[in-house]
Structure 1
Amino acid sequence: MPATLLLADIGGTSTRIARADRDGTLFDLRVEANDSYASLEDLFGVYLSNIGGPRPRAGVFAVAGPVDGDEVKMTNRAWHFSRPELARTLGLDALTVLNDFAALAHGVVGLGPQNLVTVGTGKAVEGAPMLVCGPGTGLGTALVLPRADSFEVLPGEGGHVRFGAVTSEEARVLAHLVQDLGPVSVEHVLSGAGLVRLHRILSGEVATSHSIITAALSGQRNERETCHVFLRLLGRVVGDFALLTLARGGVFISGGVGAAMAQLFAESPFRAAFEDHPPYQARLAAIPVRVVVHPTPGLVGAAEVGRRLLAALEPA
């Protein structure tokens, strides 16, 4: 039987798991709630037991947090593991672990227009850097640098830069957050939990991020206003990141919260806030922004990395 890959996109809230063949085609896809498992070893053990058949030969896991060496500790969940020990436990000949937005970056650059929602205008400059970022459990970032025949991905932790206010409304929001949290980072606002905080501050109502977005999409006034404020703040922060990286190759917005709000971007202040960075409005107006709506872009990126990993394991 041909060798297969074990792929996982391990977020703070849920984990998407699949297998893939040597050309990167996904199958046996599952989505698991992390709270249902005590550890990653438990989660993968249940998955492999349920699908049966021969064990995958190699694995590629994307995790929410920085990856530096063999010891991996997630940012938004109290899970940690040793890469070589986990590979042995799962019976894998090789295991690659990378940042979740690095995996997204490997995936989104190859997506077709059916998996992307364009926000505003702009035209990508061939060979220029591309930025991948977006809100989910946290706020992830990665930079894509095109090379002669491929590209290089540089993951970052942009969600942990400090959040700043530029309007009186934002100052009021920030004052509430400082009182509750102390020093406020960008992902305290631009994440699923951040959307909940923002809605409570703006409306006095307590709701889940899912219910806020669902109500906004159905036209509910308070929730729609919260999402518009959220997207304005996201536009400003992403505009900051685009200037920092000169991402003239384009910006991709991903993450579960970003994808869920895809239909709200066009009517929201996102694009205006993205461009409103004097004196560089024209430069930012030229940068295309696309929202990723593919259901599993992290697994697509992991499969691309895994395809090369399997090729390296096979004899020449």
Structure 2
Amino acid sequence: MSHPVLAADIGGTSSRLALIGLDGRPTDIRIHRNDSFPTIEAMIETDLSARAEAGRRVRGAVLAVAGPADDEQVRLTNRDWAFTKAGLRERFGWSRLAVLNDFEALAHGVQVVAPADLVAVGGGKALPGAPVLVCGPGTGFGVAGLIRGGDGHPVVITGEGGRARLGATNATEARLLAHLVRIFGPVVVEHALSGSGLALIHQVFTGDKLAPELVIAAALAGERDAVETCHIFLRLFGRIAGDLALIFNARGGVFLAGGVAAGLAPLMAHSPFREAFEEHPPHEARLVGTTVHVVTSTEPTPGLLGAGQVAARLAALLD
């Protein structure tokens, strides 16, 4: 490639940057701690400088960011970084720039994730060409749908599904919801289905304050209260994923993405997740036939893979 494209998966804590050619595969992946840089521009500048001649040949970029990306000004949700698209293009001399929401990038990325990096939850059979759903808890709860456009290229639909109102379907969920109402007022999905939500569920039912990764670790070690916390979380997760699968008609498959989902993957087979996913009368049969997979890949991340798929199309225009 005479002009490789820079692809980046930019999270709240760290960023992964790589060069992309016509095949869309990330090469020379470099990981940066965001705390080391005052701005996103400084981080990109340091990365390109370290790539020497290859960095100087970059004429375009695809950035997947943890935040809304559809306006000219982009601000990360959980880091004090903001930029304008025109400002980045001018500063780095890029003729082409695409900025994606992180779940938009994930939806592109799940198409090329290796089978070894997918953990099936239940059965079903994906229908080729049918809509695909990607969702998952992290700092919030991300949602994206993928459909095939008229030209055969994938089209990703994003939204704020994590801000949909959350209800209760049994006594345990009603008890949790009552606590959440006292804390938040109107309760939305990501108040419960997020990393902080997992920690809060554990606190509500046990009285213990534990970081979400410690709750998951305790559950994996067989600690009873932590297992119960994760089962409450996974039942909610299954129900909301089932709701979204019906909304998107996701007969092409459901992919559960993000670090929280990957951490919980070993617990899902013996949890209420799949039962809650399918329990949507009168459409149980449709959901029984819908495949669900947890995305566990870490290097490259699904977000970086997705940015790479978009970057490949830019590379074809630049070369």
Q: TM-score, normalising length from structure 2?
A: 0.92
Distance in 2 (CA, whole Å) between partners of 1:209 and 1:52 is: 40
1:220-245 CA-to-partner distances (Å, cap 9, x unmatched) read 22222211111111000011111111
Give the equivalent residue in structure 2 for 1:90.
92
Distance in 2 (CA, whole Å) between partners of 1:101 and 1:63 is: 9
Task: Give the drift of 1:51.
Answer: 4.0
1:134 aligned onto 2:136: yes
SS in structure 2 at match of 1:101: helix
Give the equivalent residue in structure 2 for 1:197.
200
Q: 1:309 aligns with which of 282, 301, 314?
A: 314
Equivalent pairs, count: 314
Q: 2:109 aligns with which of 107, 110, 113?
A: 107
Q: Cα gap change, 1:52/1:203 in structure 2, threshold over 3 Å: closer, same or farther?
A: farther
Q: Is the 8 A contact 2:166 2:189 kept in 1?
A: yes
Amino acid at match of 2:54: P
Give the equivalent residue in structure 2 for 1:179.
182
Distance in 2 (CA, whole Å) between partners of 1:111 and 1:102 is: 15
Distance in 2 (CA, whole Å) between partners of 1:77 and 1:161 is: 23
Give the equivalent residue in structure 2 for 1:34.
34
Q: Cα gap change, 1:88/1:237 in structure 2, threshold over 3 Å: closer, same or farther?
A: same
Instruction: Write the mapping of 1:144-155 to structure 2, written as runs, cut at 5 A.
Output: 144-147=146-149, 149-155=152-158
- Which deviates more, 25-34 or 194-203? 25-34
Task: Give the drift of 1:66.
Answer: 2.5
1:63-104 CA-to-partner distances (Å, cap 9, x unmatched) read 123322321123344432101102222343321101111111
Distance in 2 (CA, whole Å) between partners of 1:88 and 1:292 is: 36
Q: 2:161 aligns with which of 152, 158, 163?
A: 158
- Which deviates more, 171-180 or 47-56? 47-56
Q: Is the 8 A contact 2:59 2:318 kept in 1?
A: no
Instruction: Write the mapping of 1:263-274 to structure 2, written as runs, cut at 5 A.
Output: 263-274=266-277
Give the equivalent residue in structure 2 for 1:46.
46
Distance in 1 (CA, whole Å) between partners of 2:219 and 2:48 is: 39
Distance in 2 (CA, whole Å) between partners of 1:13 and 1:193 is: 16
1:300 aligned onto 2:305: yes
Give the equivalent residue in structure 2 for 1:16.
16
- Which deviates more, 246-255 or 65-74? 65-74
Task: Give the drift of 1:23.
Answer: 2.2
Q: Which has the higher contact order (CA 8 A, sep 6+)?
A: 2
SS in structure 1 at match of 2:3: coil
Give the equivalent residue in structure 2 for 1:290.
293
What percent identity do the matched residue pairs reach?
Answer: 51
Task: Give the drift of 1:252.
Answer: 0.7
Give the equivalent residue in structure 2 for 1:120.
122
Q: Is the 8 A contact 2:3 2:318 kept in 1?
A: no
Q: Cα gap change, 1:35/1:180 in structure 2, threshold over 3 Å: closer, same or farther?
A: farther
Q: TM-score, normalising length from structure 1?
A: 0.93
Distance in 1 (CA, whole Å) between partners of 2:288 and 2:209 is: 36
Task: Give the drift of 1:5.
Answer: 2.0
Amino acid at match of 1:307: A
Deviant stretches of 4+, over 6 Å: none
Distance in 2 (CA, whole Å) between partners of 1:159 and 1:39 is: 27
Q: Is the 8 A contact 1:3 1:22 kept in 2?
A: no
RMSD over equivalenced CA pairs, Å: 1.8
Distance in 1 (CA, whole Å) between partners of 2:250 and 2:111 is: 13
Amino acid at match of 2:172: E
Structure 2 alignment gaps of length 5 or more: none
Task: Give the drift of 1:36.
Answer: 4.1
Q: Cα gap change, 1:83/1:140 in structure 2, threshold over 3 Å: closer, same or farther?
A: same
Amino acid at match of 1:28: D
Q: Cα gap change, 1:220/1:49 in structure 2, threshold over 3 Å: closer, same or farther?
A: farther
Q: Cα gap change, 1:37/1:192 in structure 2, threshold over 3 Å: closer, same or farther?
A: farther
Give the equivalent residue in structure 2 for 1:81.
83
- Which deviates more, 44-53 or 149-158? 44-53
Q: 1:244 aligns with which of 244, 247, 257?
A: 247
Task: Give the drift of 1:219.
Answer: 1.7
1:26-71 CA-to-partner distances (Å, cap 9, x unmatched) read 2332333434433212322333344444322211001123322321
Q: 2:59 aligns with which of 46, 57, 60?
A: 57
Q: Is the 8 A contact 2:129 2:252 kept in 1?
A: yes
1:192-222 CA-to-partner distances (Å, cap 9, x unmatched) read 1111111111211112122221222222222
Task: Give the drift of 1:247.
Answer: 0.9
